Amino acid sequence: MNRDSLQDREPLDVMPTQYREPVHVTVWDETAAAEAPRAVLVHGTMSWGTECFAAQRPLADKFRLELIDRRGFGDSPDIERSDYTVDAEDIGQLMGCGAHLVGHSYGAAAVMLAVSARPEAVRSLTLIEPSPLRTAAGHPTVAAALERIRASFGDVDEQLSPEEYLRRSTEPYGLPMPEPTPRLLRAVRSAMCERPVWDAELPLGPLAGATMPKTVINGTWETTHPDYRDFTGTALMACGENLADAIGARHVRVRGAGHAPHQDRPEEVNALLAGLWES
């Protein structure tokens, strides 16, 4: 297993039987403790572990952080079609005997499936801006957003370049076009053929019945561009509130944050995570 660790540890082995190559996991651990609490962090789309959770690195002085690169992203092997069900299997194997789980956006769907399959191995569950909107399809705001998203991203033009897809995913919604580095363009290419997470049918019963501490975090989106907030932000906030209620989770709203509150307001989110993991 490829690792970026600040301490020598036993190598991780995360390889579902149907794949030959393991996923890449970056380990941040400055605890010098043999049994430091473990936290597995799962990134969203067009991202990878160390990019998505860079602001959480200070938590490594108390916890062992294991940042998974989903297949097709970061340093993990390619996959023909990125899929949250495949990611869930990778996460389930990485959990071992027990870990805290954190999933952002697309990664939240994979984490939810992994928890449903192995709730006994989960110490706590944190979902940051979860994007499986279909779980709250009965909410009118979410239903309207689903229609917009299906129309905009349901059928990706195969002739579209990753750079143009990135542009169309940012600039029309008031977001700056990021530098199209080779690493980012690979992530975009994988995202272009992902199994759509907004339409994921996820069983909420197992999550509702699970007894570990559960938290859903949303930004309040007031500082984001109005076009971006109207297109997806209001629906994500409604989805997060609905999901938290459905599974019996605490719902936290981070003011001044958009779709990435752990990046926009890291001190607040890190304090929340540390308190959760310490308890």
Are the C-beta atoms of 70 and 61 separated by less than 8 Å? no
Pairing label, strands 214-219, 122-128: parallel
Mean pLDDT of 194-210: 95
Confidence of residue 18 (pLDDT cuts 50, 70, 90): low
Using alpha carbons, select from 265, 116, 105, 270 the residue that is nearest to residue 203. Answer: 116
In degrees and rounded to multiples of 5, residue 31 shows phi and psi of: -75, -25
Q: What percent of the chain has pLDDT over 90?
A: 82
Alpha carbons 212 and 11: distance in angstroms, whole number: 27
Looking at residue 9, what is its pLDDT?
38
Please determine, for residue 265, whether its predicted confidence score (pLDDT) is greater than 90. Answer: yes
Are the C-beta atoms of 198 and 241 separated by less than 8 Å? no
The rounded mean pLDDT for the chain is: 91
Please determine, for residue 14, whether its predicted confidence score (pLDDT) is greater than 60. Answer: no
- Alpha-carbon 66 to chain mean position: 13
The three-state DSSP-derived secondary structure of 176-193 is: CCCCCCHHHHHHHHHHHC
Are the C-beta atoms of 97 and 121 separated by less than 8 Å? yes
Alpha carbons 99 and 154: distance in angstroms, whole number: 35
Using alpha carbons, select from 51, 68, 4, 60 the residue that is nearest to residue 29. Answer: 60
Looking at residue 20, what is its pLDDT?
62
Are the C-beta atoms of 48 and 74 separated by less than 8 Å? yes
Mean pLDDT of 108-123: 97
Alpha carbons 93 and 215: distance in angstroms, whole number: 22
Q: What percent of the chain has pLDDT over 70?
A: 91
Looking at residue 16, what is its pLDDT?
53
Using alpha carbons, select from 121, 99, 103 the residue that is nearest to residue 112. Answer: 103
Confidence of residue 19 (pLDDT cuts 50, 70, 90): low
Please determine, for residue 155, whether its predicted confidence score (pLDDT) is greater than 60. Answer: yes
Please determine, for residue 29, whether its predicted confidence score (pLDDT) is greater than 80. Answer: yes
Please determine, for residue 248, whether its predicted confidence score (pLDDT) is greater than 90. Answer: yes
pTM passes above 0.85: yes
Q: How confident is the model over 166-188, as pLDDT tens digits?
A: 998 899 888 899 999 999 999 99
Mean pLDDT of 6-28: 63
Confidence of residue 4 (pLDDT cuts 50, 70, 90): very low
Confidence of residue 157 (pLDDT cuts 50, 70, 90): low
Q: How confident is the model over 30-75, as pLDDT tens digits?
A: 998 778 999 999 999 999 999 999 999 999 999 999 999 999 999 9
More confident residue, 174 or 19: 174
